[in-house]
Structure 1
Amino acid sequence: MLARLKAIFLSVWPVLVCLILAGPWLIPALAHFSGIGHRWVDIMAQFTAPALIGALVATVLVAFLKRPPLMIVALVGLMVCVIAVLPQAEPARGAPDRSAPVLTVYSANLNAENGDVESISASIRDADPDIIILVELGSEAFNARDRILADYPYQQASDRVVGPGHRGSVVIASRYPLSPVDMPRDQLSALHARAETPLGALHLVGVHMTRPWPFQYQWGQIIQADLLAGRLEGVTDPILVAGDFNTVSSARIGRQIKAQTGLTPAGAWPGTWPTELPSWLGIGIDHQWRSDELVFLSRRIGKRTGSDHYPIVTRVTLARSQPSR
C-alpha cells in the first residue's frame, strides 16, 4: 500500500509543482481576456505585465523538472500571458508623416511629497523635451517650478492644491505659445491648454485620475473618464493627453477612454510604478494618449525624479494622412 502511494506521489508531484508555479500568473491574463468590468476582475487585470514576468520565471523553473508535457503546459501559460500584455505594450502605432517635424513630450507624476527639485530638474534636462506635462506637484516642486522649467517660457498651472490628502497641482510647460482652455471644476484633476507648435495647433491635457477600487470608491475612475471625454468633445485639433491614470490602458478605464474619446495610448512597457522596482517589473499606470492625427514614434522611461512614478518620454509627429474627426 505504501509503495503504491509512493508511486502515485512520484508521478503526481511534478504536475502539482507545475500548476503551483505557472497557474497563478494566468489569473490576471484571464481577467484581461474576460473583458468583465466588475471591480474584482478589473483590479486583477491591472497586473498582466508582472504576471508575464512571473510566468517567464515559472517556465524556466518547470524546465528543471525535465518533463516535456509539463514544459508544454508552462509554455502555453507563458504565451497566454504574452498575448494578454500585448494590447498595452504594443497598441496601434499609426503611420507617421516622415516629412513632419517631431516633438519630444515629457510627462510625469512628481508625487506631492517629493521635494527633490534637483532630481526633477535633472530628469527634464536629460529628456530635453519640447512639451512638459506634470501632475501631482507638491508645495516644494510647485514653488520651484520657475527653476525646474527655466527653459520653458510658456507655462500654465492649475490652482495650487497641496493640502493633506490632495493630489497637488497640474502644470503644462512648452517651448511654444500656450493659451488656456476653460475647464469646469469637477471631480477630475486636469489642466487643458492649446499649444501653437511646429505640428500646428495641439490641444494638451494633463490628467490625474483617482486611485482604483478598493483604494477609492468603485465609480470614481469611471466618472472621471466620462468627464475627460466630455471635455474633449468638439475639439477638432490634434489632442495629446498625459498623466497618471492609475490604471493600465487595456483594463476597464483604458477601454472606456478609448471608446469615448477615440484616443490611442503609447505603449506602456516598461512600467511606470512603483520606482522601488525596476521599470520592467512595474505596472504601466502613467500614459500619454494621442488622437488619430498624431503618431508616437517612440516611448521610453525617463530619468528618475525622486517620485514613486517613473516619467515617460515620447517622440510625437503627425500621422501620414489626417483623418477627420
Structure 2
Amino acid sequence: MRRFKLPRLHLPPLNVSRLNWAYLLVLLLVWALGEWMAERTLPTLLLAYVPPVLLAWPAPILLLLVLLRLVRRGDVRGLFPALLSCGAALFYLGFTWHSAEPPQSSDFKLLTYNIARGRLGNVERLSNQIRAANADIITLQETNGVRWPFTDELLAKVPGYFVSRSGTLGAEVITLSRFPVVSTREVSLPNTTRRFLVTRLKTPQGELTLINLHLSTVMLSKVLDGEAMTTRDNRQQQLEILQREAAAISGPLIVAGDFNTPPRGRIYRALTAELSDAWDTAGRGFGYTFMASWPVLRIDHVLSRGSAAVKLSAVSTEVQPAGGSDHRALLVVLRFTRQQTQLP
C-alpha cells in the first residue's frame, strides 16, 4: 500500500528584525494617538482604556526570538530593534523606579481608596485595611454604600479622624484627616450627582487644601448606548472646573481620588502640567490600581503642588494589596520643604 505524504511547505524565513521594527512603529503610533488625539475621537478615547499589557506583550517574545537566533547562529541582526521595542514597551507600560528616601519630621501619609460602595468587601475587611495604612489623610470614593448604614459602620471602625463628606446621606466622597479641618465645601458638577470635596486642613507646616474627587468614566454600556462622547464632554467640563478650583487656591494643594483617567491623553496632560503626579515622582513599578484582582490600569492618582513658601512633594508611593474593592488603594508619603528665599 502506497503511503500518502504531505507536501512540504516552503515558508519564507522569518525576518525578526523587520518584525521588531514594525512592532516598534505600531507601539509608537498607538502611544502618539493616545497622547495627542486622545479624547477627540471615539476610537482614540477607547484606546486610552485598553490595558497597556495587551500592546506590550509581543516585545519580550520578539526579543526571545532574536536571542535564540543569536545563540544558535550567532546572528545579531534584529537585536537592536528588539531592545528598542522592549524599552518602548516598558515606557508604554508606565514602569518607573525611584529609590526610597529616609523619613523626615515633616512627612505625612495620604491614602486614597475607591471602596466600591462596599459591594466586594465587608466593613471589617475594609476598615482593617484602612487602619493598617496608618495614614494621616484618607480620601475615600464610592462611599455611598449599597446598604444605608454601611458608611457609618465603616467610619466607626476608623476612629481618630476629623470627617468631611459630600452631602449628608449618600455621600459619594469622604475625607478623613488627623489634622484639624479649617473648612469644607462641595463643588457641584454638571450632569452628575458627583461632587468635588474641597477641605482646608491645618497642618504643623501650615494650611493645606485637599480636593477629593471621583471623575466620570467611559463605561462600555455608555459606548453601546452611543453616549461615550457625552461622557467625554462631561469629563472635559469636570476638568475645567477642577482647573478653576486649583487656580483659585494659593497655598499647597493635593488632588486625590479616582480620576478614571490612565496616565495618558489630554486630560491627564492638562492635570500634570499644573500638578505633580506622586507615582511619577516616587513610585516603584507600574502603579496599576484597577482591577484589584488583576491590576492592569493606573486610574487612581495623587497630584500635588507647593507654594512660593513651601515645596510639597511625594517621597514614597505604593500600591496596596488587594482588599475589599475592585480598586487597590494608593498610599503616598508627602513632604513639606521650606523654600529658600532668594535675596536680591
Please give the TM-score of this superposition, normalised by the length of structure 2: 0.75
Kindly state the Cα deviation for residue 99 of structure 1 after the two structures are TM-superposed.
Answer: 6.1
Say which of 126, 130, 134 aligns to 2:136.
Answer: 130
Could you tell me which runs of 5 or more consecutive residues in structure 2 were left unpaired when the two chains were aligned: 1-7, 70-74, 223-227, 281-285
User: Separation in 2 of the partners of 1:46 and 1:199?
Assistant: 39
Matched residue of 2:89: which SS?
Answer: helix
Kindly state the Cα deviation for residue 131 of structure 1 after the two structures are TM-superposed.
Answer: 0.6
User: Separation in 2 of the partners of 1:307 and 1:98?
Assistant: 30
Kindly state the Cα deviation for residue 35 of structure 1 after the two structures are TM-superposed.
Answer: 5.7
Letter in 2 for 1:106: L
Say which of 108, 117, 120 aligns to 2:123.
Answer: 117
Say which of 176, 181, 186 aligns to 1:183.
Answer: 186
**Residues 232 and 23 of structure 1: CA distance in aligned 2, closer, same or farther (over 3 Å):** closer
Which piece of structure 1 moves more, 143-152 or 129-138?
143-152
Say which of 279, 290, 299 aligns to 1:267.
Answer: 279
Task: Summarize deviations over 1:1-32 as a string: whole Å, max 9, x none.
Answer: xxxx955x232475787689877655543434
User: Separation in 2 of the partners of 1:227 and 1:272?
Assistant: 25
Map of 2:293 onto structure 1:
276
Kindly state the Cα deviation for residue 79 of structure 1 after the two structures are TM-superposed.
Answer: 2.1
Map of 1:239 onto structure 2:
253
Map of 1:148 onto structure 2:
157
**Residues 266 and 46 of structure 1: CA distance in aligned 2, closer, same or farther (over 3 Å):** farther
User: Separation in 1 of the partners of 2:340 and 2:277?
Assistant: 18
Letter in 2 for 1:312: L
Say which of 29, 32, 36 aligns to 2:31.
Answer: 29
User: Separation in 2 of the partners of 1:319 and 1:235?
Assistant: 19
Kindly report which structure 2 residues correspond to 1:1-325, keeping only aligned pairs within 5 A, or say none: 9-12=11-14, 25-26=27-28, 28-32=30-34, 34=36, 36-39=38-41, 40-47=43-50, 49-50=52-53, 53-63=56-66, 65-66=68-69, 68-85=76-93, 89=96, 101-112=106-117, 113-139=119-145, 140=147, 141-152=150-161, 154-159=162-167, 162=170, 169-187=172-190, 188-212=194-218, 215=222, 216=228, 217-259=231-273, 262-267=274-279, 269-277=286-294, 279=295, 282-292=296-306, 293-321=311-339
User: Separation in 2 of the partners of 1:77 and 1:31?
Assistant: 18
Aligned partners of 1:97 and 1:320 also within 8 Å: no
Letter in 1 for 2:164: Q
**Residues 257 and 21 of structure 1: CA distance in aligned 2, closer, same or farther (over 3 Å):** closer
Larger radius of gyration: 2
**Residues 6 and 23 of structure 1: CA distance in aligned 2, closer, same or farther (over 3 Å):** farther
Kindly state the Cα deviation for residue 77 of structure 1 after the two structures are TM-superposed.
Answer: 1.9
Task: Summarize deviations over 1:82-138 as a string: whole Å, max 9, x none.
Answer: 34455x8479x9xx9986510010111111234421221111122111110001113
Aligned partners of 2:164 and 2:175 also within 8 Å: yes
User: Separation in 1 of the partners of 2:65 and 2:338?
Assistant: 47
User: Separation in 2 of the partners of 1:193 and 1:124?
Assistant: 20
Aligned partners of 1:50 and 1:283 also within 8 Å: no
User: Separation in 2 of the partners of 1:247 and 1:311?
Assistant: 15
Please give the TM-score of this superposition, normalised by the length of structure 1: 0.79
Matched residue of 2:164: which SS?
Answer: strand
Kindly state the Cα deviation for residue 51 of structure 1 after the two structures are TM-superposed.
Answer: 5.1
Matched residue of 1:137: which SS?
Answer: coil
Aligned partners of 1:273 and 1:283 also within 8 Å: yes
User: Separation in 2 of the partners of 1:156 and 1:298?
Assistant: 25
Kindly state the Cα deviation for residue 176 of structure 1 after the two structures are TM-superposed.
Answer: 1.3
> Identity over the aligned pairs, expressed in percent?
20
Letter in 1 for 2:152: N
User: Separation in 1 of the partners of 2:168 and 2:67?
Assistant: 57
Map of 2:5 onto structure 1:
none
Map of 2:283 onto structure 1:
none
Matched residue of 1:255: which SS?
Answer: helix
User: Separation in 2 of the partners of 1:42 and 1:182?
Assistant: 32
User: Separation in 2 of the partners of 1:241 and 1:37?
Assistant: 22
User: Separation in 1 of the partners of 2:183 and 2:103?
Assistant: 30
Kindly state the Cα deviation for residue 309 of structure 1 after the two structures are TM-superposed.
Answer: 0.4
Kindly tell me the number of residue pairs found equivalent between the two proteins: 303
